[in-house]
Every structure is written in C-alpha cells, then in structure tokens.
Structure 1
Amino acid sequence: MSTFAVTYFYSADPAQLAEVRPLHREWLSGHFSTGSLLASGPKVDTPGALLIWSAESVEELATVLDNDPFDIAGFIGERVIEEWNPIFGPWSS
C-alpha cells in the first residue's frame, strides 16, 4: 500500500457545501473505519481540504474519490492526488 496526500479546492460556496457536508462526512467515515482514509479535514484559510489516504495506486484512489458526494455534486473545482512518503509520524514505514 502507498500513502497519498489529496488536496481538494472547492468551487462551491459555503452554503452549498453545508448542504452536502453530512453525506460527504458519512462517506469519509466509512472509508476511515476501513482504514483506507487515514486523516482528513478542511483547510483553515482557503476553501479546500487535505485528505491522507492509503491505496494500492493513484488510479484506484481516483476511482474512490470520484464517489465522494462533494465530487458528485460538482463542488470540487480541482483535486490533486500526490503519492507521499511520510518519514516521521504514524504513517511512516
């Protein structure tokens, strides 16, 4: 398994995000309980989020992320998936 850092840049306004957020968080919670989502949360000063995932490949993860309710609603203007090599911390090898 590889570790990936995913950055979301939202294209929706806060009110739109708030409407879908419960579904989005339920979806995230399911992936967190299986161990594929390691951490996630909104950015403080920009409209977006950082998510840390464990997956076999970037292609596999992209397919999973396509099912995020925020993505389905069209609220993610840009999504960046980067493989990450944590040297220190709970996800280091």
Structure 2
Amino acid sequence: MALVAVLYTYNDLPEVRAQHLSAHRDFLASQDNLVLSGPTSDGSGLLLFEGEVAAVEAAVNDDPFRAVGLIKDRRVFEWTPVLGSWMKDLKL
C-alpha cells in the first residue's frame, strides 16, 4: 500500500483553531489509515496516511478544520520513503 502525505497550510486564526482543535484531532484519530500526524515548526500540519491519493484527499475533505476555514492550502501527494531508521518500525 502506498503512503500519502498531506501538507496543510493554515490561516492565522488562533481563536478558531483553539475552538476546533479537539474536533480536528478526533476526526484524525478516527481515520484507520492514519500513520502519523502533527504540527510543524512553521505552523503547518503534516499528516501521513496509508492508501491512495484520491481516497485520502476525499477523506480529508471532511476535516473540521476545513469546514471552518482554517486550511488555507492543502497538498496531497504520494510519498515513497527509501531510507531511514523508521523503515523497519513502519514495515516499509
């Protein structure tokens, strides 16, 4: 199965973000194919899924952050890791 990365660029709306963070995290936790997710040091968000690009893209359309206008830009793309210490742990 392919790995699919999702890169969110957020709008700068800290009060809205704080209000909807729990719903966003609950939504992500409900995704059975989510491998890892979290914020980046530049204020973006990086999510890694197992699956196909089209299916992941369709799934993240339902992210509560999107519904309230927190996602300014979103990139969804297949990612092929080739080296690294997590390769074995992630069974890649």
TM-score (normalised: structure 1) = 0.85
Task: Measure the CA separation in 2 of the matches of 1:68 and 1:30.
Answer: 11
Q: CA–CA distance in 2 between the matches of 1:54 and 1:10? A: 23
1:41-75 deviations in Å (ceiling 9; x for gaps): 0112x2211111111x2111110010000011111
SS of the residue 2:20 aligns to? helix
* CA distance in structure 2 between the aligned counterparts of 1:14 and 1:67, rounded to whole angstroms: 20
Q: Counterpart in 1 of 2:25?
A: 25
SS of residue in 2 equivalent to 1:38: strand
Q: TM-score, normalised by structure 2?
A: 0.86
Matches within 5 A, 1:3-42: 3-31=3-31, 34=32, 36-42=33-39
Q: Which runs of 5+ in 1 are unaligned?
A: none
Q: Distance in 2 between matches of 1:54 and 1:42?
A: 19
Q: In 2 relative to 1, CA 92–85 (structure 1 residues): closer, same or farther, beyond 3 Å?
A: farther
